[in-house]
């Protein structure tokens, strides 16, 4: 089994899904057989690659994952589409440990043939996000350089600590990526300084930052990754550099 990356943040609007799509596309372009799994009920990772959401999420179905994956952008990238009703499944999983156990077995069986798996987790710290973290070997936390960024990171680190203490998972490391980065804003520079100099977070922050770039926001509306939509953009270059940085430690 290859590396399994969970892209997670309980706060919306920080570039979580964009980072999941862009990294999955970049890793696939590096020659690795890559699977993107959409666990977010908003299904933006699915629609962002021009694919229709499913009526029932494959992880909650009786079929193998291999029967439900869809090729995306050709080559090495495939996606397990999301389902708008997945929030209902998450509530059921919270009440039924056996359902979550079955989903875990289906997940582990289905990803065995991939060199890299990226999970776009729900924007919450509910049972499915915790399960996704336990299934993963790495967690990538996109954050926007704003006033409440540190507060959100504290909650994320606390959840990661509890997942690791719970045992039974494979989560080994974490990385923080700064998104929608605008160096002209004093707040951006101040938040970056605080995070990089923090004794708690400093060692987890990637060197690469993702700049504010309108093409990054436009790409999903065209059903394409940034590499298909605007391969020469600042955003594409940044995500390519982040991919190399992430894979450097794999």
Q: Average model confidence (pLDDT) for the chain?
A: 88
State the Cα–Cα distance between residues 68 and 239, nearest whole angstrom: 27
* Domain residue ranges of the chain, discontinuous segments joined by +: 3-248
Q: Which tens digits make up the pLDDT trace of 223-250?
A: 999 999 999 999 999 999 999 999 986 5
For the cut 70, the answer to whether the pLDDT of residue 169 exceeds it is: no
Domain 3-248 fold is Rossmann fold (3.40.50)
- Residue 12 CA: distances (Å) to CA of 38, 152, 173, 190: 15, 11, 22, 21
The pTM score is 0.92
Sign of CA dihedral 47, 211, 151, 155: positive
Joined together, the tokens standing for residue 117 give 């798996």
How confident is the model over 134-157, as a mean pLDDT? Answer: 86
Q: Which tens digits make up the pLDDT trace of 80-117?
A: 999 887 777 777 777 777 777 888 888 888 898 899 99
Joined together, the tokens standing for residue 3 give 């590396």
State the pLDDT at residue 200.
80
Per the DSSP assignment, residues forming a β-bridge with 118 are: 5, 36
In this structure, of 45-49, 59-63, 167-171, the range with the lowest mean pLDDT score is 167-171
State the Cα–Cα distance between residues 30 and 189, nearest whole angstrom: 32
């Amino acid at each position: 089994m290859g590396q399994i990356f969970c892209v997670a943040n309980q706060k919306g609007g920080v570039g979580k899904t964009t980072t999941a799509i862009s990294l999955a596309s970049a890793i696939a372009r590096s020659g690795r057989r890559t699977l993107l799994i959409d666990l977010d009920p908003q299904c933006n990772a699915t629609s962002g690659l021009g694919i229709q959401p499913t009526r029932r999420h494959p992880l909650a179905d009786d079929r193998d994952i291999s029967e439900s994956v869809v090729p995306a952008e050709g080559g090495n990238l495939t996606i397990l589409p999301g389902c708008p009703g997945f929030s209902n499944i998450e509530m059921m999983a919270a009440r039924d440990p056996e359902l979550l156990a079955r989903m875990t077995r289906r997940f582990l069986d289905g990803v065995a043939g991939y060199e890299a798996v990226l999970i776009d987790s729900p924007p919450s710290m509910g049972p499915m996000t915790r399960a996704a973290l336990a299934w993963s070997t790495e967690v990538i936390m996109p954050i926007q350089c704003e006033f409440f960024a540190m507060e959100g990171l504290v909650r994320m680190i606390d959840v990661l600590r509890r997942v690791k203490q719970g045992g039974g998972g494979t989560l080994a490391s974490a990385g923080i990526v700064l998104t929608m980065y605008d160096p002209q804003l004093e707040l951006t520079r101040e938040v970056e300084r605080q995070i990089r100099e923090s004794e708690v977070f400093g060692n987890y922050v990637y060197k690469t930052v993702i700049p504010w770039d309108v093409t990054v926001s436009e790409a999903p509306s065209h059903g394409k990754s940034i590499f298909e939509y605007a391969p020469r953009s600042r955003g594409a270059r940044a995500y390519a550099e982040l991919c190399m940085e992430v894979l450097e430690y794999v």
